[in-house]
Amino acid sequence: MSKSYRVAVLGATGAVGYELLELLASRNFPIADLKLLASERSAGQKISFRGENLLVEAVSEQSLENIDIVLASAGGSTSKRWAPKAVEKGAVVIDNSSAFRMYPDVPLVVPEVNPEAAASHRGIIANPNCTTILMAVAIYPLHRVQPIQRIVAATYQSASGAGAKAMAEVQNQAAEILAGKEPTSEIFPYPLAFNLFPHNTPINDQGYCEEEMKMVNETRKIFADQNIRITATCVRVPVLRAHSEAINLEFSTPFSPDKAREIISQAPGVKLVEDWHNNYFPMPKEATGKDEVLVGRIRQDISHPCGLELWLCGDQIRKGAALNAIQIAELLVERSLLNPQLASLGNL
Ligand code: A2P
């Protein structure tokens, strides 16, 4: 009989947690035992998994005993507190938060791009930022053929990036506005319904917000190329789920759009969606619930002989978070990388 694993989902009651459970079931992940962990607030709640009602527990030292894989999606401070403890107890943690992403000892993995990086883990593997994952899957196949020199990205990010409560907030705001009332905001700093605003993360001295710097630093780490020049403008838009991105790529020599189309149509994790005659290209509505990142509008940049433009949409909760984490777990299983003896905390 093939081996099965003791899995814990930390943040099981959240938007990504919900999707993690759906993917564990639909992809038939070999589970011997499944633990659902969240905060005290949700302890005692029941969630159905493969027809069974499982009890949600508050995360604690004891709840992390006898676990092989922790899939964590409960925010940075929760990961900082509990991931090292889970590793100490013998688990491998696949962490969705930004807490450990830039630690030199922690691999930052997109399985279609740098699966080999997972092998060097010391107990924690980081799942990259959602916007970064979507861009990386779409442009890495081109980068492999002809190295990208510079990336200029503009993002159109849905409410789902801020969690289940943020999605509900936008729906409530829309209802309030349509009823002639002032919209109320608790999660987001400003009303998002019928509006948009630059990404609501802290801004650095250069004027870049954290989300933009994640795209810069994480892409370089995933591509193992510190020389790519990257700039981004990240914007929240009133879309419930699935992010969109306008990407301008610069190469050292021209990259023909037809060649790019051919490469993208054969690349893993991406789907070419282009009907120029009908002006039909990727839309967040159509990317929602899909595993693939939809890519289209591939065209020569008319302002630069070595420039290429493309447009993409991808489900932030799925490939941008939960699916990527499950693919990492599958990779660990396939390549026998779960051996707790190999894991040591290093300098976390
Ligand atoms: P809870 O529902 O108990 O608050 P989302 O990103 O959709 O907002 O979900 C966040 C997830 O992280 C939820 O499952 C939430 O659990 C969990 N979470 C938030 N804070 C903590 C914490 N301090 N300890 C454990 N889980 C937490």
Catalytic residue among 143, 199, 243, 313, which? 243
The pLDDT of residue 2 is: 78
Atom 6, ligand 1: residue with shortest CA distance: 163
Is 131-316 CATH 2.40.50.180? no
CA distance 247 to 32: 42
pLDDT tier at 348, thresholds 50, 70, 90: low
pLDDT one-digit tens code per residue, 245-257: 999 999 999 999 9
User: 76 CB under 6 A from ligand 1?
Assistant: no
The pLDDT of residue 347 is: 47
pLDDT one-digit tens code per residue, 139-179: 999 999 999 999 999 999 999 999 999 999 999 999 999 99
Report pTM.
0.96
Ligand 1 center to residue 38 CA distance, Å? 5
| Percentage of the chain modeled with pLDDT above 90 | 97
User: 96 CB under 6 A from ligand 1?
Assistant: no
Superfamily name with CATH number, domain 5-128+321-347: NAD(P)-binding Rossmann-like Domain (3.40.50.720)
As a whole number, mean pLDDT of residues 61-68 equals 98
Q: Is the pLDDT of residue 202 over 70?
A: yes
Ligand 1, residues 78, 81, 85, 98: which to mutate, most atoms within 8 A of Cβ? Answer: 78
Structure tokens at 83: 């991931």
The domains of the chain are located at: 5-128+321-347, 131-316
Atom 3, ligand 1: residue with shortest CA distance: 39
C-alpha 180: how far from chain center: 36
Ligand 1 center to residue 66 CA distance, Å? 22
Q: How far apart are the first and last CA of the chain?
A: 36
Q: Burial code of 240-264, b = ≥16 C-beta within 10 A, e = fewer?
A: bbbbbbebbbbbeeebebeebbebb
Q: Is the pLDDT of residue 231 over 70?
A: yes
Q: List CB contacts of 283: < 8 A, sequence separation 6 or more.
A: 244, 294, 313
Catalytic residue among 130, 143, 234, 313, which? 130
CA distance 58 to 44: 8
pLDDT one-digit tens code per residue, 290-341: 999 999 999 999 999 999 999 999 999 999 999 999 999 999 999 999 975 4
Atom of ligand 1 nearest to the CA of 162: 6
Contact 161, 73 (CB under 8 A): no
Atom 25, ligand 1: residue with shortest CA distance: 39
Atom 4, ligand 1: residue with shortest CA distance: 39
